[in-house]
Structure 1
Amino acid sequence: MSFAQHHSDGKPKATSPSLQPKSALERATQAAAAAKRSPVAEPSPSLRGAEASPAHSPEAPPVLGIPPQELTPHVRRALKHLADQVSSLKADRARLVDRLRRAEELADRDTLVPVFNRRAFERELNRVISFAQRYEVQASLVYFDLDGFKQINDRFGHPAGDAILLAVGETLAANIRESDLVGRVGGDEFAVILAKAGPEDARRKGTQLAEAISRTEITYQGHRLQVGAAYGSYTFESDDTGERALSRADEAMYANKVGRKIQSL
């Protein structure tokens, strides 16, 4: 037996420590230590689900630019007080806007008849004229003067005259389109703006409205009262103003009234 064979058979060869196999416990311990050193590393498939850490809840958004950590009870009370003040101001503003709207409506309405007063009517007349000039469309004005109104006032008094005016205003308002406007421009004088109406349309509508006025009847203290109406129509020209248009329509009404008197002789 050789010297080599003697040592080989008598005692096993020593193995280097770095080549010795590791136990399962040791491998698991080292894997856990590696996972702690690298928290962003993807967990092994065997640990997913059971050992994965729960997700963190998202951070709350700031309120009015104030970070959540600064929203102390005192700050929250101040914010609520501020919100209540804003709501109150909004409510006050809405009430004020409504009051202004109603005040404007009252300022535009005739004190007796539910139609525009002269000031508001002239304002709207200028608007319609400007619109007609800008878009090159026709629009007209019809002017009315009541026949027999003075006699009713003289015989039955102003309350009877007021009742006649109210009935005439309601008749005119009930017999025009939504795009047309009615105004009381004098004591017993009314005018109607006819949108998109030429000379022939205005004359035809004037006749229709005058006939409707003559059929209007009221009962006052047991008396049946009626009035007639003379009218004149005018179609706006390119250089017109509201004042000029009213004057031209008034002149046409007066000429019509004189012509009717001459025919009745």
Structure 2
Amino acid sequence: MSNGTPQVSSQDSGQQIDRLADENALLRASLSDARARLDELEQLADGDMLTSLSNRRAFLKELKRVVGQAGRHGTPAAMLYIDLKGLKAINERHGRLAGDAALIHVARSLLGLIRSTDMLARIGGDMFALILDHLDHNSAIETGDRLARCIAASPVDLGGTEISVEAFIGVTSILPGDSVDEVMARADQNMARARTGF
């Protein structure tokens, strides 16, 4: 005798469970795809298309983290601005592709000279920036001097023509109580001093 409620067979119940399991699997796959796409977009947003280094946006995020760490724990760290000399002349004399080749060459050279824990970024034009985490001031200055020497000693090969590139490097320690703007301003001032020799 029926009480008015529809009867669900065990077969129908099993089919509903299978359908829900399939829908759940599809949702999980869609979510996984969306996360992968989001990661890819994040990498594109944080990367420099020419050199494959981090860009200014990613650099500022990391600098903010390191400045906060220095403020909380007094961890030694430093920031370097690296300004290439002569890139404009390379562009004018040999074309923009040659200038791009010089930027790529310098980026690869720098990556080969720093620690895996350091963060190197191209922050615009012929400007690079470097964060040296867990490094004191004197060691940071020595690193800056070494990088400048190595860049000068490693000319760019433009199809058989070798062109030297020089770099002016401004070094500053990241001190407890610093803001991101203060660190960047000091590094910029020290780079200007390196450029003028004062």
TM-score (norm: length of structure 2):
0.91
> Aligned partners of 1:105, 1:181: CA distance in 2, in Å?
15
Alignment partner of 1:253 out of 185, 191, 196: 191
Aligned partners of 1:115 and 1:173 also within 8 Å:
no
Match of 1:138 in 2: 76
- Specify the code of the residue in structure 1 equivalent to 2:88: K
Runs of 4+ in 1 over 6 A off after TM superposition: none
Give 1:123 shift. 1.5
Deviations 1:55-105 (A, max 9, x none): xxxxxxxxxxxxxxx761111011001101101111111111011001100
Give 1:239 shift. 2.2
Q: Does 2:38 match 1:100?
A: yes
Deviates most, 189-198 or 115-124: 115-124
Q: Does 2:63 match 1:125?
A: yes
Aligned partners of 1:165 and 1:188 also within 8 Å:
yes
> Aligned partners of 1:87, 1:200: CA distance in 2, in Å?
56
Cα RMSD, aligned residues only: 1.5
> Aligned partners of 1:243, 1:110: CA distance in 2, in Å?
22
Aligned partners of 1:122 and 1:243 also within 8 Å:
no
Deviations 1:140-179 (A, max 9, x none): 0111111222211110111100110011111112221122
Secondary structure of the residue aligned to 1:80 is: helix
Aligned length: 191
- Specify the code of the residue in structure 1 equivalent to 2:171: S
Give 1:211 shift. 1.9
> Aligned partners of 1:246, 1:71: CA distance in 2, in Å?
71
> Aligned partners of 2:18, 2:153: CA distance in 1, in Å?
65
Aligned partners of 1:214 and 1:228 also within 8 Å:
yes
Secondary structure of the residue aligned to 1:237 is: coil
- Counterparts of 1:178-189 in structure 2, within 5 Å, are 178-189=116-127
- Specify the code of the residue in structure 1 equivalent to 2:123: V
Q: Unmatched 5+ residue regions in structure 1?
A: 1-69, 261-265
Q: Does 2:105 match 1:167?
A: yes
- Counterparts of 1:238-249 in structure 2, within 5 Å, are 238-249=176-187
Aligned partners of 1:114 and 1:170 also within 8 Å:
no
TM-score (norm: length of structure 1):
0.69
Match of 1:208 in 2: 146
> Aligned partners of 1:201, 1:221: CA distance in 2, in Å?
37
Higher relative contact order (CA 8 A, sep 6+): 2
Identity of counterpart residues, as a percentage?
35
> Aligned partners of 2:125, 2:37: CA distance in 1, in Å?
29
Aligned partners of 1:153 and 1:161 also within 8 Å:
yes
Secondary structure of the residue aligned to 1:185 is: strand
Q: Does 2:158 match 1:230?
A: no
Aligned partners of 1:164 and 1:226 also within 8 Å:
no
Secondary structure of the residue aligned to 2:172 is: strand
Secondary structure of the residue aligned to 1:184 is: strand
Looking at secondary structure, tell me which structure has more strand per residue: 2
